[in-house]
């Protein structure tokens, strides 16, 4: 079971935090939505590593160890090949690197759909091995029984509806959802079903804005939008997308930085200094004491 660690940046070692600060809790997140409104919007970002979590944590309410790590960290073409082992390893790292945010770990494709019992085995493993506070799974009406099963057994569930990337093959791509009346009705039914089943919050991804507004106003649990609406109860983005690590990002991503260019420039200077032997210089080498 993980505990909170502090990274000693002089040695890059993780040391147990002597007096861990109080973490936000799932009930505290739920209480932010009062009478269908969240006055103080919820801030959520993805995190996959301990150091990343440490930097994001003071600014966030929720950290999501998303299965988007398949593409972002492992260079996979989709989230479909992400495993429970990957999620457990990255989830534990993020819990070790954070002390404030609620950490949620994504259940990967194939780890929960077969039955509520199968989902319980996977989710309980993730919670035991990572120390996370909740799991996230994709699906609405079809997953309602599983969400109820987990929630009633002490596993808080965030459900993901709208554009659900694990269903990319069934959906035929990553395009926005809710364009037709039929699709809108399905997404509304999904959102209602997961709220009724006991999910503590929902991620609503890639839907037409009026639908996002309607769903946010009509279900009692916090709705975290991504490609949805500023009217949602909170927002989430993939951190590497908003930091500018990738050339191509979905329309709904706003870039708040240009990390790829910063890394490129730094590595270019390093490579040049290695090649002209100006690195390492006096300050970076050890000399025997005289
Ligand atoms: O896997 C992920 O990062 C996600 C977010 C995009 C919501 O599910």
pLDDT over threshold 50, residue 83:
yes
225-259 pLDDT tens trace: 999 999 999 999 999 999 999 999 999 999 999 99
Q: Averaged over 260-271, what is the pLDDT?
A: 98
Q: Averaged over 260-285, what is the pLDDT?
A: 98
Closest CA to 67 of 93, 52, 88: 88
Query: Which CATH number covers residue 172?
Result: 3.20.20.60
pLDDT band at 20 (very low <50, low <70, confident <90, very high): low
pLDDT over threshold 70, residue 61:
yes
pLDDT over threshold 80, residue 217:
yes
205 is known as an active-site residue: yes
Classify residue 14: in a domain, yes or no.
no
Q: Whose CA is nearest to atom 1 of ligand 1?
A: 66
Classify residue 263: in a domain, yes or no.
yes
Classify residue 15: in a domain, yes or no.
no
Which residue out of 205, 209, 273, 282 is catalytically annotated?
A: 205
User: How many domains does one find in the chain?
Assistant: 1
Total-model pTM: 0.93
Range of the domain at 238: 26-284
Residues with CB under 6 A from ligand 1: 46, 64, 66-68, 106, 160, 203, 205, 226, 236, 238
Q: Averaged over 80-94, what is the pLDDT?
A: 98
The confidence score (pLDDT) of residue 2 equals 45
Q: Averaged over 167-172, what is the pLDDT?
A: 95
The confidence score (pLDDT) of residue 18 equals 55
123-147 pLDDT tens trace: 999 999 999 999 999 999 999 999 9
Classify residue 19: in a domain, yes or no.
no
Distance between CA atoms of 273 and 229, rounded to whole angstroms?
47
Classify residue 254: in a domain, yes or no.
yes
pLDDT over threshold 70, residue 103:
yes
Q: Which residue has the higher pLDDT, 84 or 6?
A: 84
Give yes or no for a contact between 227 and 251, defined as CB atoms under 8 angstroms apart: yes
Classify residue 228: in a domain, yes or no.
yes
Substitution site in 42, 45, 67, 104 for ligand 1 pocket (most atoms within 8 Å of beta carbon) = 67
């Amino acid at each position: 079971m993980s505990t909170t660690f502090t990274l000693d940046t002089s040695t890059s070692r993780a040391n147990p935090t002597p007096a861990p600060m109080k973490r936000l809790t799932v009930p505290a997140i739920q209480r932010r939505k009062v009478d269908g409104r969240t006055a103080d919007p919820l801030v959520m970002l993805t995190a996959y590593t301990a150091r990343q979590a440490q930097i994001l944590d003071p600014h966030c309410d929720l950290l999501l160890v998303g299965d988007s790590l398949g593409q972002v960290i492992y260079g996979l073409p989709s989230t479909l090949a992400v495993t429970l082992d990957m999620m457990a390893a990255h989830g534990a790292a993020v819990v070790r690197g954070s002390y404030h945010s609620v950490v949620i770990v994504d259940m990967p494709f194939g780890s929960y759909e077969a039955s509520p019992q199968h989902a319980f085995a996977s989710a309980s493993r993730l919670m035991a091995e990572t120390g996370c506070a909740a799991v996230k799974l994709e699906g609405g009406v079809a997953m309602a029984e599983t969400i109820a099963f987990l929630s009633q057994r002490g596993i808080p569930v965030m459900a993901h509806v709208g554009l659900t990337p694990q269903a990319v093959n069934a959906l035929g791509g990553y395009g926005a959802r809710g364009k037709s009346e039929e699709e809108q009705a399905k997404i509304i039914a999904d959102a209602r079903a997961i709220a009724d089943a006991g999910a503590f919050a929902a991620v609503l991804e890639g839907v037409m804005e009026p639908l996002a507004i309607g769903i946010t106003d009509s279900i009692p649990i916090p709705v975290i939008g991504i490609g949805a609406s500023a009217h949602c109860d909170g927002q989430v983005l993939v951190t590497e997308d908003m930091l500018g690590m990738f050339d191509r990002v979905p329309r709904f991503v706003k870039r708040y930085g240009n990390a790829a260019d910063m890394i490129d420039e730094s590595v270019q200077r390093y490579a040049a200094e290695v090649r002209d032997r100006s690195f390492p210089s006096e300050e970076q080498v050890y000399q025997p004491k005289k």
